[in-house]
Structure 1
Amino acid sequence: MDVRLASSRFPRSSAYHPDWVLKNAATGSSNPLWLAEWLAEAMELRPGMRVLDLGCGRAITSIFLAREFSVQVWATDLWFPASGNARRIRDAGLEDRVFPIHADARSLPFAGEFFDAIVSVDSYYYYGTDDLYLNYLAHFVKPAGQIGIAGAGLVGELDGTLPEHLAGFWTNDLWSLHSAAWWRRHWERSGIVSVEVADALDDGWRRWLEWQRIVAPDNGPEIEAVEADAGRTLAHVRAVGRRKADAVFQDYCWPDTLRSVPDSYEPEPLLRESGIDPR
Structure 2
Amino acid sequence: MTETNETPHPADALGGRLSLPQYPRSSRYDARWTIENQMGPHALWLLEWLAPALRLEGLSPDARVLDLGCGRAMTSVFLAREYGVQVTAADLWVKPDENAVRLAEAGVAGQVLPVHAEAHDLPFGEGSFDAIVSVDAYQYFGTDDLYLPSLTRLLRPGGRIGVVVPALREEIDGAEPPEHLKPFWEPAYWCFHSAGWWRRHWTRSGAVEVETADWLTDGWREWLLWCEVVAGHSTDQWHVEMAGRCAEMLRADQGRTLGFARVVGRRV
What is the alpha-carbon distance in structure 2 between the residues aligned to residue 226 and residue 123 of structure 1?
20
* Residue-by-residue CA offset, 1:58-83 (whole Å, 9 max, x unaligned): 00000001100000110000011111
The residue type equivalent to 2:25 in the other structure is: R
Alpha carbons 1:168, 1:221 under 8 Å: kept: no
Alignment of 1:144-155 (within 5 A): 144-155=158-169
Match of 1:7 in 2: 20
Cα RMSD (Å) of the superposition? 1.0
Per mean C-alpha deviation after superposition, the further-off stretch among 30-39 and 42-51 is 42-51
Alignment of 1:17-166 (within 5 A): 17-26=30-39, 28=40, 30-45=41-56, 46=59, 47-160=61-174, 161-166=176-181
Runs of 4+ in 1 over 6 A off after TM superposition: none
> Quick one: percent identity of the two aligned structures?
54
Deviation at 1:178, TM superposition (A): 0.5
The residue type equivalent to 1:185 in the other structure is: R
1:234 aligned to 2:234? no
Name the SS for the 2:98 alignment partner: helix
What is the alpha-carbon distance in structure 2 between the residues aligned to residue 170 and residue 77 of structure 1?
26
* Residue-by-residue CA offset, 1:145-187 (whole Å, 9 max, x unaligned): 0000002111010112311111122111110000100000000
What number of residue pairs does the alignment pair up?
Answer: 242
Deviation at 1:216, TM superposition (A): 2.6
Alpha carbons 1:4, 1:18 under 8 Å: kept: no
Match of 2:191 in 1: 176
CA separation of 1:220 and 1:95: change in aligned 2, threshold 3 A: closer
What is the alpha-carbon distance in structure 2 between the residues aligned to residue 203 and residue 240 of structure 1?
20
What is the alpha-carbon distance in structure 1 between the residues aligned to residue 89 and residue 38 of structure 2?
14
Deviation at 1:86, TM superposition (A): 0.3
More helix by share: 2
* Residue-by-residue CA offset, 1:114-138 (whole Å, 9 max, x unaligned): 0000000000000000000001101
What is the alpha-carbon distance in structure 2 between the residues aligned to residue 77 and residue 211 of structure 1?
23
Gaps of 5+ in 2: 1-10, 233-240
What is the alpha-carbon distance in structure 2 between the residues aligned to residue 87 and residue 150 of structure 1?
26
Structure with the greater alpha carbon radius of gyration: 1
What is the alpha-carbon distance in structure 2 between the residues aligned to residue 144 and residue 216 of structure 1?
42
What is the alpha-carbon distance in structure 2 between the residues aligned to residue 75 and residue 17 of structure 1?
21
Gaps of 5+ in 1: 245-279
Deviation at 1:237, TM superposition (A): 0.5
What is the alpha-carbon distance in structure 1 between the residues aligned to residue 193 and residue 69 of structure 2?
18
Deviation at 1:220, TM superposition (A): 4.0
The residue type equivalent to 1:129 in the other structure is: T
Deviation at 1:222, TM superposition (A): 2.1
